[in-house]
Amino acid sequence: MDEWGPEKVVCVSDRKSGMKGVLVLDNTARGMGKGGTRMSPTLSVNEVARLARTMTWKWAAADLYYGGAKAGLMGDPNAANKEQLLRAFARALSNEVPKEYVFGLDMGLSEKDAAIFIDELGDRGAAVGLPTALGGVPYDELGVTGFGVAEAADAAAQTLSVPMEGARVVIQGFGAVGAAAAERFRALGATVVGVSTSVGSVHDPDGLDLNRLLQLRGEAGDGCVREYGGVRPTGDALAFDCDILVPAAIQDVVDVDVARSTTASLVVEGANMPTTGPALEVLAARGVSVVPDFIANAGGVIAAAFSMDNRYSPFATDPAQIFAHISTKIRGNAATVLLESSTRGTTPHVAARQIAQERVLAAMRLRGRTAIGEHAKQPVA
Domain count, the chain: 2
Residues 6+ apart with CB under 8 A from 75: 18, 19, 20, 39, 40, 41, 82, 85
Of the two residues 260 and 128, the one the predictor is more confident about is 260
Q: Is it the case that residue 123 has pLDDT exceeding 50?
A: yes
Residue 37 within a domain: yes
Cα gap 196→255, rounded to integer Å = 17
CATH code, domain with 208:
3.40.50.720
Task: Tell which of 254, 273, 296 closes a domain.
Answer: 296
**Residue range 137-166, pLDDT digits in tens:** 777 778 999 999 999 999 999 999 889 999
The pLDDT score that the predictor gives to residue 371 is 66
Same-domain check for residues 116 and 184: no
Percentage above 90 pLDDT, the chain: 77
- The catalytic position among 58, 70, 82, 329 is 70
Residue 21 within a domain: yes
Burial class (CB in 10 A: 0-12, 13-18, 19+), 88: buried
Q: Average pLDDT over the chain, rounded to whole?
A: 91
The pTM of the full predicted model, rounded to 2 decimals, is: 0.84
Residue 88 within a domain: yes
Residue 248 within a domain: yes
Of the two residues 141 and 109, the one the predictor is more confident about is 109
Three-class SS of residue 196? strand
Average pLDDT over residues 365-371: 87
Task: Tell which of 244, 276, 296 closes a domain.
Answer: 296
Residue 303 within a domain: no
Same-domain check for residues 32 and 126: yes
**Residue range 209-265, pLDDT digits in tens:** 999 999 999 999 999 999 999 999 999 999 999 999 999 998 889 999 999 999 999
Same-domain check for residues 131 and 185: no
Range of the domain at 226: 149-296
Task: Tell which of 278, 296, 314 closes a domain.
Answer: 296
Residue 143 within a domain: no
Residue 312 within a domain: no
Same-domain check for residues 53 and 167: no
**Residue range 267-290, pLDDT digits in tens:** 999 998 899 999 999 999 999 999
Active site residue 70: yes
Planar angle of CA 63, 36, 41, nearest 5 degrees: 150
Residue 47 within a domain: yes
Q: What is the DSSP letter of 211?
A: H
**Residue range 81-105, pLDDT digits in tens:** 999 999 999 999 999 999 999 998 8
